[in-house]
Chain A
Amino acid sequence: MPEGYRKTLIRQIAQHAHSEIIGMQPEGNWITRAPSLRRKCILVAKVQDEAGHGLYLYSAAETLGADRDELLDLLHTGRQRYSTIFNYPTTCWADVAAIGWLVDGAAIMNQVPLTRCSYGPYARAMTRVCKEESFHQRQGYESMTTLATGTPKQREMAQRALDRSWWPALAQSMAWGIKRFSNDELRQRFVDATVPQAHHLGLEVPDPTLHHDGQRWVSGDIDWTEFYAVMKGNGPCNRERIATRVRAHEEGAWVREAAAAYAAKQKARTGAVA
Chain B
Amino acid sequence: MSSQFPLWEVFVRSKRGLAHNHVGSLRAPDAEMALRNARDVYTRRQEGVSIWVVPAASIMASSPDEKDSFFDPAGDKPYRHPTFYDVPEGLTHI
A interface, CB within 8 angstroms of B? 45, 48-49, 52, 55-56, 59, 62-63, 67-70, 72, 121, 124-125, 132, 253, 256-257, 259-260, 262-263, 266-267, 272-274
Known: A49-B44, A56-B41. A274 touches B31 (CB 8 A): yes
Shortest distance from the beta carbon of A6 to any chain B beta carbon, whole Å: 14
User: Which residues of A lie under 8 Å from residue B28 when comparing CB positions?
Assistant: 259
Q: Nearest chain-A residue to B5 (Cβ)? A: A260
A63 — which chain B residues lie within 8 A by C-beta?
25
B1-15 CB contact bits vs A (8 Å, 1 = yes)? 111111100000000
Least CB distance, A231 to chain B, in whole angstroms: 27
Asked if B3 contacts A69 (CB within 8 A), the reply is yes
Chain B interface (Cβ < 8 Å from any Cβ of A): 1-7, 24-31, 33, 40-41, 44-45, 55, 58
Name the distance in Å between B50's Cβ and chain A's nearest Cβ.
19
A30, chain B: closest CB distance, angstroms? 21
New A-B pairs, 6, CB < 8 Å, besides A69-B1, A121-B24: A48-B44, A49-B44, A59-B25, A257-B1, A259-B28, A260-B1
For A124, the closest partner residue in chain B by CB is B24
Q: Which of B4, B5, B24, B30 contacts A56 (CB 8 A)?
A: B24
Tell me the minimal C-beta distance from A272 to chain B in angstroms.
7
Contact between A272 and B7, CB atoms less than 8 A apart: no
CA distance A126 to B33 in the complex (A): 25
Contact B58 A273 (CB under 8 A): yes
B24 touches A274 (CB 8 A): no
Q: Is the Cβ of B41 less than 8 Å from the Cβ of A55? A: yes
Interface pair A253/B1, CB less than 8 Å apart: yes
Chain B contact surface mostly: mixed
Return chain A residues, CB-CB under 8 Å to B55.
273-274
CA distance A62 to B40 in the complex (A): 20
Q: Which residues of A contact B27 (CB under 8 A)?
A: 68
Complex Cα distance, B32 from A14, in Å, reads: 27
Inter-chain contact B3/A67, CB cutoff 8 Å: yes
Q: Cβ of B2: which chain A residues have Cβ within 8 Å of it?
A: 68-69, 72, 256
Minimum Cβ distance to chain A for residue B36 (Å): 11
B29 touches A262 (CB 8 A): yes
Query: Could you tell me if A62 and B7 are in contact, using CB atoms closer than 8 angstroms?
Result: yes
Closest beta carbon of chain A to B4's beta carbon, Å: 7
Given known contacts A52-B41, A59-B24, is B1 in contact with A262 (CB within 8 Å)?
A: no
List chain A residues, Cβ under 8 A from B6. Answer: 274
10 closest cross-chain pairs (CB), A and B: A263-B29, A263-B30, A69-B3, A259-B29, A256-B1, A68-B3, A59-B25, A260-B29, A274-B30, A55-B41
Alpha-carbon distance A274/B33, docked complex (angstroms): 11
Whole-angstrom CA separation of A59 from B7 in the bound complex: 9
> Which residue of the partner chain B has the closest CB to A69?
B3
Q: Once the chains bind, are B41 and A259 in contact (CB under 8 Å)?
A: no
Asked if B26 contacts A263 (CB within 8 A), the reply is: no
Give the complex CA separation of A266 and B29 in angstroms: 11
Q: Do the beta carbons of B29 and A52 come within 8 Å of each other?
A: no
For B44, list chain A residues within 8 Å (CB).
45, 48-49, 52
Are A263 and B33 in contact, with the CB atoms below 8 A? yes
CA distance A69 to B6 in the complex (A): 13
Q: List 25 A-B contacts (CB under 8 A).
A: A48-B44, A49-B44, A56-B24, A56-B41, A59-B24, A62-B25, A69-B2, A69-B3, A124-B24, A125-B24, A253-B1, A259-B28, A260-B5, A262-B30, A263-B33, A266-B30, A267-B30, A272-B30, A272-B31, A273-B31, A273-B55, A273-B58, A274-B29, A274-B30, A274-B55
